[in-house]
A and B are shown apart, each in its own frame.
Chain A
């Protein structure tokens, strides 16, 4: 039976017959979005957040149900190599879409640093805005704009020094990229003990990263005067690092799930799409962080 689960033993491309999960997922997303809308605009006495959290709960059920079904089909040997390749390609293009999502926010960062803040300071074609509205403004980077938006009365704020926690976090993520590669090699070599240890090390490093980032956020909010509302610097800082942190959290949760599957004897040397998909995702999160470390914290 050891090889019965390898992807090669099914001749036909498996086409599932009906599934409740997609429609369940659509309804869950709908409830989630209604909850979010009501939270923002529902007004007094509307239980927006309750609907919102119901939506999140349903999404969690969705992932367990849908992926659980896929896992059981895979374990039953229904998927051949072609199905496996479809999953792989699908995951790659999903990661590409994520890259483009981050590209929008990096674009906003570069635009603000290189165009809008210099323009507001009187550079280039936009002099009139400067001389008529904010002639005193001489913005360098970091900037919270000519009106010095932010929590402090005088508009002052400090940035997070790159060589403190961000550097530690960089080392954590780079190390986790190494540990997951070791785990991958161990998986392919059939060395389950090494696999378990290094996979666990990877998600523990991930969760440690998230914890340190939370510490950094708390210091930024309470001591540095750096908040989401601290002008364009705060906006780009928190949106970029926040979405990244969200992705690290999701990635670490996925790694944890894979780890439990490995403990159950799933993810064999021949058949481990889930492991590889999460590994790709983890490397993607890693690369985004390097961009953040260089362009948000360091330069």
Chain B
């Protein structure tokens, strides 16, 4: 049978040519690149929607867009950013880095890997095509609460089916990550030697497989309630619209950890490198991640404190939510302890990681405020909630993704990037993300409701500050694109270690930059010397 094997063994660094390389891709790096480029495009589409929102909110009253279009902007901004930008960016990073970090030849199921990617552009074409239906885009909020969402016009099925496709893509991507990590590790790479980015992604993948089908079920019930006469969310038939919220948030709360756990992993890789110290409390980090994932299934109704739940449920969900602060606190303390007495340097990935640490923690604290059920009656559906989740998702998840890109871009392209431009991008982002979102805390506490195109005049000043911050933040992201394009085209040659003076640890730094087209064809042997931490 030997002749069959040679077909694959002989093509060492030969890349397939032309468009077929991308359409028929099975290489984890090519698929990772497609995911990352797709995420970047969606980041700008979702960002453009945010610009429309901030422009409309520049002044009280209605100026540029009609209210229905405004509502479809807030709805699709969320769907595009969550499912189109942040999640695919993390999957792209997983594709690129996990096989490199565990010494594998590729992802475990390469064809399915391609399938999970190529579903995404079609899913978003379907979603965004709904703007061209007679009723305009979906406008009932990304959470799609009935009965409002059931009053949608003919954009309704495209939104539902787009979500089904995104779910299918996520589940296949997650299965691939789990199987790759559980089955493809190099000999000696025991689970407690696994880089933290792999660990957090492994746990994220479990969450994805557990909750994406539940979301699929929830939107399927919406579809049948709308078109086939079922009564899941219709009290006249014995159902309950609040039941939708329970099912949705059973998905939705683990989903927020899906959006942040890989970010924890990224930061846990970068902070030790630029502190020139091993990560403090590696095992604790792993157990904290697992605890967060476990608890995330027990807190969903903190999104529903004002729906008139029984008192016992209010108390249970308040307390279980606050419990999550403990493992999250362990992580924050461990990152601080890693830097303690370290020899710190402030390259762009480190800058983004540090601002992640500060700003994500602010978002965590406002989350604790929201977890207090009696206080939440005041905060519910105000801009305070908007400020909270943008702190954890923009200055949290998105900043971590940027940190990851700045950390590994030379490994991908083989070139160093323009450090000055990267630092300019960092400072503009870090300053104006606060100008953008911090005033929204004040607006929310003062009672400005979210998802409304108009507001009372006393909210004007802080809305102007916020919009100004939004425009500068949005424009400064163009620097990121310029920098990436420059780095792909050329620049100083990157060494295998890239950050040589920081001595980064991990298998990805043992291969050349750019990483060869095929990863480890013969697995390396792993010892404590080339893992991320010291066992004590």
Q: How many whole Å from B69's CB to the nearest CB in chain A?
A: 19
A131 at the binding interface (Cβ < 8 Å): no
> Are A120 and B235 neighbours in the complex by a CB distance under 8 Å?
yes
Q: How many whole Å from A12's CB to the nearest CB in chain B?
A: 7
B216 at the binding interface (Cβ < 8 Å): yes
Contact pick for B238, options A97, A101, A112, CB 8 Å: A112
> Are A29 and B23 neighbours in the complex by a CB distance under 8 Å?
no
Q: How many B residues have CB within 8 A of the partner chain?
A: 86
Please give me the residue from chain A that is nearest to B156 by CB atom: A41
Q: How many whole Å from A62's CB to the nearest CB in chain B?
A: 10
- Bound form: Cα–Cα A51–B408 in Å: 44
Interface centre among A15, A30, A90, A133 (most CB of B within 10 A): A15
List A contacts of B115 (CB < 8 A). 21-22, 25-26
> Are B4 and A94 neighbours in the complex by a CB distance under 8 Å?
no
> Are B238 and A117 neighbours in the complex by a CB distance under 8 Å?
yes
Question: From DSSP, what is the main secondary structure of chain A's interface residues?
Answer: helix
1/0 contact string of B230-271 vs chain A (CB within 8 Å): 111011111110110011001000000000000000000000
Q: How many whole Å from B344's CB to the nearest CB in chain A?
A: 40
List A contacts of B176 (CB < 8 A). 90
Q: Which A186-245 residues have C-beta < 8 A from chain B?
A: 227-229, 231-236, 238-239
Contact pick for A116, options B16, B227, B235, CB 8 Å: B235
B281 at the binding interface (Cβ < 8 Å): no
Stretch at the interface among B157-165, B189-197, B458-466: B157-165
> Are B1 and A85 neighbours in the complex by a CB distance under 8 Å?
no
Question: From DSSP, what is the main secondary structure of chain B's interface residues?
Answer: helix
> If A93-B179, A228-B224, A232-B238 touch, does A12 touch B8 (CB 8 Å cutoff)?
yes
> Are B213 and A97 neighbours in the complex by a CB distance under 8 Å?
yes
Contact pick for B109, options A20, A90, A143, CB 8 Å: A90
Q: How many whole Å from B52's CB to the nearest CB in chain A?
A: 25
Please give me the residue from chain B that is nearest to A119 by CB atom: B240
> If A100-B211, A239-B221 touch, does A36 touch B161 (CB 8 Å cutoff)?
yes
B122 at the binding interface (Cβ < 8 Å): yes
- Bound form: Cα–Cα A10–B243 in Å: 52
> Are A228 and B228 neighbours in the complex by a CB distance under 8 Å?
yes
B476 at the binding interface (Cβ < 8 Å): no
> Are B230 and A78 neighbours in the complex by a CB distance under 8 Å?
no
List B contacts of A34 (CB < 8 A). 126
Contact pick for B214, options A90, A100, A144, A235, CB 8 Å: A100
Contact pick for B229, options A4, A145, A228, CB 8 Å: A228
Q: How many whole Å from B247's CB to the nearest CB in chain A?
A: 6
List A contacts of B304 (CB < 8 A). none
- Bound form: Cα–Cα A232–B241 in Å: 12
> Are A232 and B179 neighbours in the complex by a CB distance under 8 Å?
no
- Bound form: Cα–Cα A29–B33 in Å: 23
List A contacts of B418 (CB < 8 A). none
> Are B179 and A86 neighbours in the complex by a CB distance under 8 Å?
yes
> If A12-B5, A18-B16 touch, does A104 touch B231 (CB 8 Å cutoff)?
no
List A contacts of B309 (CB < 8 A). 125
> Are A107 and B126 neighbours in the complex by a CB distance under 8 Å?
no
> Are A27 and B250 neighbours in the complex by a CB distance under 8 Å?
no
> Are A40 and B227 neighbours in the complex by a CB distance under 8 Å?
yes
Q: How many A residues have CB within 8 A of the partner chain?
A: 80
> Are A100 and B236 neighbours in the complex by a CB distance under 8 Å?
no
B9 at the binding interface (Cβ < 8 Å): yes
List B contacts of A96 (CB < 8 A). 209-210
> Are A235 and B126 neighbours in the complex by a CB distance under 8 Å?
no
Q: How many whole Å from A124's CB to the nearest CB in chain B?
A: 6
List B contacts of A17 (CB < 8 A). 7-8, 11, 16, 26
B420 at the binding interface (Cβ < 8 Å): no
Q: How many whole Å from B519's CB to the nearest CB in chain A?
A: 9
Contact pick for A235, options B9, B168, B227, B237, CB 8 Å: B237
- Bound form: Cα–Cα A55–B126 in Å: 15
List A contacts of B518 (CB < 8 A). 15
Q: How many whole Å from A4's CB to the nearest CB in chain B?
A: 6
List A contacts of B374 (CB < 8 A). none
> If A23-B23, A34-B126 touch, does A104 touch B238 (CB 8 Å cutoff)?
no
1/0 contact string of B173-184 vs chain A (CB within 8 Å): 011101100111
- Bound form: Cα–Cα A126–B210 in Å: 31
Contact pick for B237, options A89, A125, A232, CB 8 Å: A232
- Bound form: Cα–Cα A228–B217 in Å: 16
Q: Which B118-177 residues have C-beta < 8 A from chain A?
A: 118-119, 121-122, 125-126, 133, 154, 156-158, 161-162, 164-165, 168, 171, 174-176
Of all A-B residue pairs in the complex, the 3 with the closest CB atoms, nearest first, are A104-B217, A145-B238, A229-B229
Chain B interfacial positions (CB closer than 8 Å to A): 1, 4-5, 7-9, 11, 16, 20-21, 23-27, 104-106, 108-112, 114-115, 118-119, 121-122, 125-126, 133, 154, 156-158, 161-162, 164-165, 168, 171, 174-176, 178-179, 182-184, 209-214, 216-218, 220-221, 224, 227-232, 234-240, 242-243, 246-247, 250, 308-311, 518, 521
Q: List 26 A-B contacts (CB under 8 A).
A: A12-B5, A12-B9, A15-B518, A18-B21, A18-B25, A23-B24, A29-B165, A33-B122, A36-B161, A40-B157, A41-B154, A41-B157, A89-B179, A96-B210, A97-B171, A100-B210, A104-B216, A104-B221, A104-B250, A115-B240, A116-B242, A117-B238, A125-B309, A149-B229, A228-B229, A232-B239
